[in-house]
Structure 1
Amino acid sequence: VIGLGGRLMGAISQAVPGAQVRPIPSLDLGAPELHAIPRRDDTAGLGVSGAELGLVVDAYVDGAIVGELGPQGEPKIDVALRALQPGGREVDDPEALAASPVATPSGDIVPLSSLADLQERLGPTLIKRIERRRAIVLQVTPPDSIALEEAMRVIRDEVLAPLHEDGTIGGGIDIALSGTAGQLEAAKGRMGDVLLLAVVISLLLLAALFEDFLAPLVVLVTVPLAGGGGVLGLWLVNRYLAPQPLDLMTALGFVILVGVVVNNAILVVDGALARLREGEPLREAVPRAVEARVRPIFMSTATSVAGLLPLVVFPGSGAELYRGVGAIVLGGLVVSTVLTLYVVPSVFTLLWRLRGVR
């Protein structure tokens, strides 16, 4: 586990330049350990199993847990079996442990050294376990110039994938992304539901305001138009400014668009409905509503574009985190504004003619 952790640290540092990789616990082997390695032939000849030998070593060193004591339903106290050397002396050095007596099933008493080899080694200062399995946590902090999702993609594709292919990962060794990375994966899985919820809430709210279910459908026609504009804006940023992945922060731009781009369509639909209530024919009410709303629509769009443009164009520390969402909102807003003046009146006229309005 420690060897694989060190290999992953080096691979991540190379794949994500500037990333800080901190192992928890430390990968340094600075704690002295004493390993008792059974000699299979000797233990089998004397009828001592590896588990029994391990129990004896535990009893001599730290005490072997053999049970629990306490009333039912209350916290229990561990019952430990502690073995001492002849004379009541505790085992406090490797030589004393090697000379400690071990009883065999046949009744013979032999020293521990006749059943196992004792080797002094260096081991980890701390052993971490997750769900009862030994684990090492590599805490990766990507540099400010790389989005978290991009760093995750690089680690998954360039570091973990080769280890899966050559069989290093598997056979009892698992690697999982957790912490902020795990939360990000879960959030990505819910992004589609969030977008659908935003559309449904907008539909219900507009239906209540218009007191009609057909008018909100006309308004929401702008949402797919804005989505196409957002994709176009992101493509232009990747093509002419800087690489910008479709990460979670960028995808939030599509959710924002749902509440932004419907404003222009609301102005057109509300104006057309008001003129129809005044008795104007459909063929005159819709064009006049568009004509009356063109100026405020372009004024609001121009101010929004002016505010978003620096977010997309200007460089700087952390700009890559918000450039994507700015590009999507900017592209969706521009495209939907232009198309709203043509598509929304056409759809409105078509649906109201189907209703029998002339």
Structure 2
Amino acid sequence: MKCSRLGKFVRTALLAGAASMLAAAPTRAASEIVVTHWSALLYGVPYAIAQAKGYFKEEGVDLSGILSSKGGGTSVRNLMAGETLYAEVALPAALAAIKEGFPIRIINAGTDGSSGIYITREGEKIDKPEDLKGKRFAYSRPKSVSESGVIAALKSHGLKASDAKLIAAGDIGAGITALEHDKVDVAIIPEPIFSTKMKDGAKYKPLPWFGKDVPRYTQTVGVATIETIEKRGKELAALIKARRRGVEFLYANPEETAKILAKAYNMPLDIATAAMANAKAQTPTWWNPGRLDFEGMNNMSEALASVGALALPIDWKTAVDDRFVPPDLKAMR
């Protein structure tokens, strides 16, 4: 009887100790990521799909949430502020941070080219390159991506910046307002804002031909801190794979993608459908599966340098760590 009671006591003590050890054992917290303009613009569509379809879990990423930012350096600061696994940010913001000594690296590509639509007022006689001379173009701020974009688009039609009047509106929204009040003649508007405003009765005339022939360029990239790259590489590789599956899904399944987008962004289905269609019409391969396009990154860097926003050259060997890009995508360079 005594032995039995002693055995029971020992077993109970061992179980209690094991439970205590398990409770005290360190566990990996669920991961958060940052996506520029999440729930506002279309950069986040592959992530919304990967969440909805369970791709993150299937690939081994325990994703607790997606954080938004207003773009630019805010996304990088959000990445550095906590234990965020990864961020998709504008390439100029990533390069500026690396130049300033932030311990981050570019690990995959996000989007290529523009998803914005150049517009004028309905009835405005801007139908061909010759009509652009002397027109007023809105951009956000000096030394910005939007300024370099307008200059590149004008150049693609054989025009110089001096052939038009470039006006710094402050931000994209202010540029649209300036267009509506006849303070500028051309502005750029992203999706889904364009589709929302058109549904609400806006009288815009799209100029899809204006930015069509600019050299291809990388718009957003995925970044992570050097510490995260070294300590959590498997998670990063899994996340990039899950995002790639989201990109492949959105091209193959437009109707279901629109439904997923509408739910994730809390927007009407008709707006989501129109926004996706217009983005693809503007740049058919805007969402990149992850392939790092060094020509596209160089084109963006040179465009920024042309307006004094970035000092060249870029040491891509230092700026980029491509170990997590799948081999078949690396082969596409």
Higher relative contact order (CA 8 A, sep 6+): 2
TM-score interval (norm. to shorter):
under 0.3
TM-score, scaled to structure 2:
0.27
TM-score, scaled to structure 1:
0.25
Greater Cα radius of gyration, structure 1 or 2: 1
Bigger share in helix: 1
